[in-house]
Chains A and B, each alone.
Chain A
Amino acid sequence: MYSVIFFYTTTIIMIKYIFLMILFIGIHFAKGQTVRGMVADERHEPLIGATVLELGTMNGQTTDVNGQFQLKLASKSARLIISYVGFTPDTLDANFTGPMHIMLKSASSELDEVVVTSSSTFMDDLESKHVEVITEAELTKAACCNLSESFETNASVDVSFTDAVSGAKTIRMLGLDGRYVQINRENVPNVRGLSGRYGLSWVPGTWVQSIDVGKGAGSVVNGYESMTGQINVELKKPETSEKLYLNGYVNSFGRLEFNANHARAINDQWSTALLLHTNYFNNEVDNNEDGFMDIPKGRQLNVMNRFKYQGDKLVSQIGLTFMRDEKAGGQTGFGFKDDFQTAPQYGFLSNTTRVEVFGKTGLLFPHKPYKGWGFIYSASYLDIDGGFGRDNYLGREKTLYGNVIFQNIIGNSFHQYKTGMSMLIDDFDEVYADSIFNRQEVVPGLYYEYTYSPGDRFTLLVGARTDFHNLYGTYFTPRLHTRFKFSENTTLRAAIGKGYRTPNTIVENSNILVSSRQLVIEENPEPEVSWNMGGSLVTAINIGSKKLNLIADYFYTTFENQLIYDMDQSSEQLRVYNLRGDSYAHSFQLEGNYQFSDRLSAKAAYKFYDVRATINEELREVPFNARDRFFLNTSYSTPFDKWEADATIQWFGSKRLPDTSDKPAEFQTRSSSPDFLLVNAQVSRGFRWGNIYLGSENLLGFTQEKPIIDSENPFGDNFDASIVWAPVVGRMVYAGFRYKIKR
C-alpha cells in the first residue's frame, strides 16, 4: 500500500518535473561581455549620475538621465560596485544576463564617505582625489595586529622603524614622517597630538573594515592637518558586521593576541557592536645580545561599544571606547612594575589610558538623497605615564571636537557643495624631566567645498577653510582637486593644497630621546605650514586578455615652516628649532598591478624620494629616508579563497644617518645605511567557519647590526638607541585563526 502511494506521488512529481524542464529550456544563460541595467533608489526613482565600477579595475560608467547604464566588462567573473552620493554603495556579481535592476539604499549619516566591503585594494575612478581603498580582504593578507602594520601590502604608505627600545612602528608617506598625514577614524581626527607616536598601535586590526589612503592634500571638510595625505579608517559597523568574529594569534616570540567582535540588531532601528582586543607579551627577547630587549614587553586591553540608530529621517551613531596599554622595555630584567628612575637597569615605561566618546548624527531628506545635515563629534581623554632612562614623561591631553556639515546641490547634481563649521579644543599638559609644557588650543573654523562634475569625464573640486587659532592666528587653507578622464582606461588627477599642524616636540622625539642626547629647544615652536602639489596618472594597458594597471604619481611638499629636529649638529644633543631656509620633499611612485589568472596576481612599485631640509644651516638630506625603494607583492588564491598565499618583498635603498663623527671612534656609526630586503609571507586555509593562517614577518631575518650605540653604558655619554634604520628583531613566525558567524 505504501509503495502504491509512493508511486502515485512520484508520478505526479515526475510530471511536474518534466513540465518544469520544458519551461527551463526557454531560458538561456549566456555570459555576456556587456552588462546593462538601471540604478534606482528605494522608491524606484532612477538615480542620475550613479557610478557603476568594475571591481579592481578602472572600468566604470555613470548612469544617464534615466538611470540607465551599459558597461563593457573587462573580465568574465566581474563584480560591480554601484555608488551614489548619499547612498550606501552596493557590490554585486556582474554576470547577470538580462538588464540589472539595482536598488541603492540611502546612506544617511555616512554622507558621501564611501564604505565598500569587497575584496582587495582599488581606486574609485570617479573620485577627484587620489585615494586608494584598502579593504578587509587586503588587510588579512598581513595578519598582525594593528593599524601600524596594516599598510604592509600597500605601496603608498611606508612603515618605518623608530627606535631600538620602544618597538613602535610608525608610517611615512611621500617621504615624510607620518605626523604630516592626517589620520582619522571615521572622519574624527584620531592619531594626532600626544597619540601621534603610538596611536597607530591602539587601533586593532580586526576592528578595521576598510582604510582610505589619500595622497596629497585632503578635503577641507576634515580640517587643515592633511599636509602629505589623509588616511581614514572605517571600523566594523553595528548594522553590517558579523554576529560573532573571534581571532586568536600567537607568534614565535610569545606574543598573544585575542580579538572578539559581536554585532547585532536590537530592533528595527537600533543595532550595536562590541569590539574587544587584548594582547599580552611578557618574554624577554634579546637576539642580538646587547643586553636590551629587542621588543618591549606589552599588554593592552581595548574595548569599544557602539550603537547605531537608523530612522527614516534621522541616523545616529554613538560609541564609547576605553584603552589601557602598558609597555616596559629597555635592559633585560626591567618589568612593568619597576621604577625606571631607581632601577639598576635602563628602563623604558609607557602606561597609557585613553577614553573616548564619539559619534555622528545625520539628518536626512528622504526624497533628496544629495541633501543632508551631519554632525560629527568626539570627546577624548588621554593619559601617558612613563619615561626612559632616568627621565620621566607625563602627558595628558583632553580633546573636544565637533564638525557640522551641510551638503546640497545647486540646481542639479552637476554642482554639489559641502559647507560647515568645526570646533577643536585641545588641552595639553606635559612634563618631561624637569620641564613643563602646557598649551590649550581653541580653534573654531568655517569651510566650503564646491564640486563641479558634469558627467564622468571631469571633476573640479575647490575648497577653502578659515580657522581662528587662539595661539597662532588665522589659518587660511585653500585646496583644489581636479580629475580628467581621457579615455575608458586613463585618468589624470591633480591637486594643490595648504596644510598646518602644531608640533608636539616631546612625543614626536620620544624615539630620539632614548639616548644620552640632551634636548635643546632653541626657541618656541611655531606651527608647521606646508604646501603640497602633485598629481597622478592611472592607466590600463591590455596585455593578452588581462589589463596591466599602471599608476604613476608625483607629489611635491614644501614647508613654509617646519620644526627641525636636528641630530646632526652634535651627537650629544637633539636641537629643536624652526626652519631657517628650505625644506621640501619630492616623491615619485610608479606602480603596476597585473592579474595573471583568476588565481595569481602581482603588484610592483618603485618609489623615489628626494627629501631635503635646512639642518644646521645646510640644505641636506633628511636622515632615515631611503631615496629608492622597491615593493613587490604577489597573491595566489584558489577558488573561494580556500587556500591563499601572499608574499611581499620590500627593498630599501641606502638612508643617510645622523652625523656621529664627533663621538669617540669606537662609538661612531656609518654615515649611511646599506640597502636591504625584507620579506613577509603568509598562507591561509579557509573553512566554512573562517580560516587559519600561518605567516612570517622578516622571513630572511635581516636585522641591523648593533642598533644601540654603547649599549654597555646606557647612562654614559655615548649611549644612543635612536639610530635605527632596519628591523631590530629577526624572523618572526606567527599563526592564528579567524572564526566568524554571519547573521
Chain B
Amino acid sequence: MKKIITTFALLITIQAFCQKEPVQVKEGFKVEIKTSAICEMCQFTLEKDMAFEKGVKEATLNLEDKVLSVIYNPKKTDAQTIRERITMIGYHADTLARDDEAYKKLPMCCKDGSHGTPIPQVPLKKQGGNQ
C-alpha cells in the first residue's frame, strides 16, 4: 500500500513537471505547453493555427525551450483541447503524442532531426479514443 502511495506521489510530481497547469492571467487563462517544434517554420505553423483556434487569444512559441504559451478564454476552451489541437497540427504536446498523418504533412525542416536537432522523445501516451 505504502508503495502505491509513493508511486502516486511521484507520479503527481512528474505529471506536474511534464504538464503545467493553466494559470489565471489578466486576459484569461494561460497555459504553457511543451511541444516538439524545431524551427521558425514550426513556430509559424503553430502560431498561425492557434490564431484560428476557438477561444485562443494569443499563442507564442518560445524557440529556446519549444514551449507554446497560450492565452485562452476558459469559457470557450480548455488546456486539453488546445493540446489535442497541437497534436493534430503534427506536434507532441506535453504528454500527448502527435498525429502521425499530420506530422507527415509538415515541411522537411520541421521533421525529426532537421537543423541538427536531436530527435524528440516519444511522449507517454497516444491520444486514445477521443478522435
B25-62 contact mask (Cβ, 8 Å, vs A): 1 or 0: 00000000000000011001001110110000000000
Given that A28-B64, A642-B52, A686-B52 are contacting pairs, would A4 and B7 also be in contact in the complex, using a CB cutoff of 8 Å?
Answer: yes
> Which A residues are in CB contact (< 8 Å) with B65?
21, 24
A-chain residues with CB within 8 Å of residue B47 when the two chains form the complex: 639-640
Asked if B11 lies at the interface with its beta carbon under 8 angstroms from chain A, I say yes
Instruction: Check if A10 is an interface residue, CB within 8 A of chain B.
Output: yes
Q: How far is the CA of A640 from the CA of B11 in the complex (A)?
A: 39
Tell me whether B102 is interfacial, beta carbon within 8 Å.
no
Q: A4-B7, A95-B40 known; A13 and B49 CB under 8 Å? A: no
- Closest-by-CB residue of A relative to B52 is A688
Asked whether any CB of chain B lies closer than 8 Å to the CB of A414, the reply is: no
Q: Out of B8, B14, B120, B123, which one reaches A20, CB within 8 Å?
A: B120
| Chain B: interface residue total (CB-CB under 8 A) | 27
* Set of chain A residues within 8 Å of B8, measured between Cβ atoms: 3
Q: How many positions in chain A have a CB within 8 Å of any CB in the partner chain?
A: 27
Shortest beta-carbon distance from B40 to chain A in Å: 5
Complex contacts, B11 vs chain A, CB 8 Å: 3, 6-7, 10
A17 CB–B CB distance under 8 Å: yes
A470 touches B (CB below 8 Å): no
Given contacts A3-B7, A640-B51, A14 and B17 within 8 Å (CB-CB): yes
Question: Which chain B residues lie closer than 8 Å to A289 at the CB level?
Answer: none
Complex Cα distance, B122 from A10, in Å, reads 11
Q: Are A13 and B52 in contact (CB under 8 A)?
A: no
- Among residues 94 to 131 in chain B, which have CB atoms less than 8 Å away from a CB atom of chain A? 117-118, 120-124
A20 to B18, CA, bound (A): 13
Task: Give A17-30 as 1s and 0s: 1 = Cβ < 8 Å from B's Cβ atoms.
Answer: 10011011001110
Query: What separation, in Å, do the CA atoms of A461 and B10 have in the docked complex?
Result: 75
In the complex, A21→B67 CA distance in Å?
A: 11
Q: How far is the CA of A715 from the CA of B41 in the complex (A)?
A: 66
A27, B121: Cα distance in complex, Å: 18
Known: A3-B8, A24-B66, A642-B52. A93 touches B40 (CB 8 A): yes
Query: B23 at the A/B interface (Cβ < 8 Å)?
Result: no
Please tell me if the beta carbons of A17 and B124 are within 8 angstroms of each other in the complex. Answer: no
A93 CB contact (under 8 Å) in B41, B51, B63, B117: B41
Smallest Cβ distance from A355 to chain B, in angstroms? 39
Contact assessment for B48 and A640 in the assembled complex, using a CB-CB cutoff below 8 Å: yes
B118 with A23: CB separation less than 8 A: yes
Q: Does A96 touch B at the CB level, under 8 Å?
A: yes
For A686, what are the chain B residues with a Cβ–Cβ distance below 8 Å?
52
Is A119 an interface residue, CB under 8 A from the partner?
no
A487 to B18, alpha carbons, bound, how many Å?
Answer: 53
Closest to A743 in B: B105
B4 at the interface (CB under 8 A from A): yes
Also in contact, A20 and B40, with CB within 8 A (given A13-B123, A640-B51, A686-B52) = no
Residues from chain B with a CB closer than 8 A to the CB of A95 are: 40
Quote the shortest CB–CB distance from A691 to chain B (angstroms): 10
User: Hey, what's the 0/1 contact readout for B1-24 against A, CB within 8 Å counting as 1?
Assistant: 000100110110010011000000
Separation of A13 and B124 alpha carbons in the complex (Å):
8
Across the interface, B121 reaches (CB within 8 A) one of A20, A96, A639, A642, namely: A20
Report B-chain residues with C-beta under 8 Å of the C-beta of A20. Answer: 118, 120-121
Contact B52 A687 (CB under 8 A): yes
A671 within 8 A of B: no
Q: How far is the CA of A640 from the CA of B44 in the complex (A)?
A: 9
Complex Cα distance A702/B52, Å? 38
- What CA separation (Å) do A143 and B7 show in the bound complex? 61
Considering the chains assembled together, what is the distance between the CA atoms of A9 and B63 in angstroms? 27
Per-residue interface assignment for chain B, residues 70 to 104, with 1 indicating a CB less than 8 Å from any chain A CB and 0 otherwise: 00000000000000000000000000000000000
Residue among B14, B41, B49, B64 making CB contact with A27, cutoff 8 Å: B64
A195-228: which have CB < 8 Å to B? none
The CA-CA distance from A27 to B66 in the complex, in Å, is: 11
Contacting B at CB under 8 A, from A477-518, are: none
> Which A16-64 residues have C-beta < 8 A from chain B?
16-17, 20-21, 23-24, 27-29
Residue of A whose beta carbon sits closest to that of B121: A16
Q: What residues on A are CB-neighbors of B49 within 8 Å?
A: 688
Contacts of A27 in B (CB 8 A): 64, 117
Q: Once bound together, how far apart are the Cα atoms of A395 and B7, in whole Å?
A: 88
- Minimum CB–CB distance for B82 against chain A, Å: 14
A6 — nearest CB in chain B belongs to which residue? B11
B15 to chain A, nearest CB (A): 8
Say whether A7 contacts B121, CB under 8 Å.
no
B-side contacts of A28, CB under 8 Å = 64
Q: Is A11 an interface residue (CB 8 A)?
A: yes
Whether B4 pairs with A3 at a CB distance below 8 angstroms is yes
Q: Are B124 and A9 touching (Cβ within 8 A)?
A: yes
Per the bound structure, the CA–CA distance linking A29 and B61 in Å amounts to: 12
Q: Which residue of A lies closest to B59 (CB)?
A: A639
Output the least CB separation between B77 and chain A (Å): 15
A29 touches B41 (CB 8 A): no
Task: Give A686 to B52 CA distance when docked, in angstroms.
Answer: 8
Per the bound structure, the CA–CA distance linking A13 and B123 in Å amounts to 7
Instruction: Contact check, A96 vs B40: say whether CB atoms are below 8 A apart.
Output: yes
Query: Considering the chains assembled together, what is the distance between the CA atoms of A665 and B20 in angstroms?
Result: 84
Question: Nearest Cβ in chain A — how far from B122, in angstroms?
Answer: 8
Chain A residues with Cβ below 8 Å from B52 are: 640, 642, 686-688
Contact partners of B17 in chain A: CB under 8 A:
14
Fill in one digit per residue for A569-612: 1 if any B CB lies within 8 Å of its CB, else 0: 00000000000000000000000000000000000000000000
The smallest C-beta distance from A165 to any residue of chain B, in angstroms, reads 45
Q: Given that A7-B11, A10-B11 are contacting pairs, would A642 and B51 also be in contact in the complex, using a CB cutoff of 8 Å?
A: yes
A10–B44 contact, CB under 8 A?
Answer: no
Contacts of B44 in A (CB 8 A): 93
Nearest first, the 6 A-B pairs at minimum CB distance are A640-B51, A16-B121, A29-B63, A640-B48, A688-B52, A10-B14
Q: Give 20 A-B pairs besides A13-B123, A28-B64 with Cβ atoms closer than 8 angstroms.
A: A3-B7, A7-B7, A7-B14, A9-B124, A10-B11, A10-B124, A13-B18, A13-B121, A13-B122, A14-B14, A14-B17, A14-B18, A16-B121, A24-B64, A27-B64, A93-B41, A93-B44, A639-B47, A687-B52, A688-B52
Question: What are 9 A-to-B residue pairs whose CB atoms are below 8 Å?
Answer: A10-B14, A10-B18, A13-B124, A14-B14, A24-B64, A29-B64, A93-B44, A686-B52, A688-B52
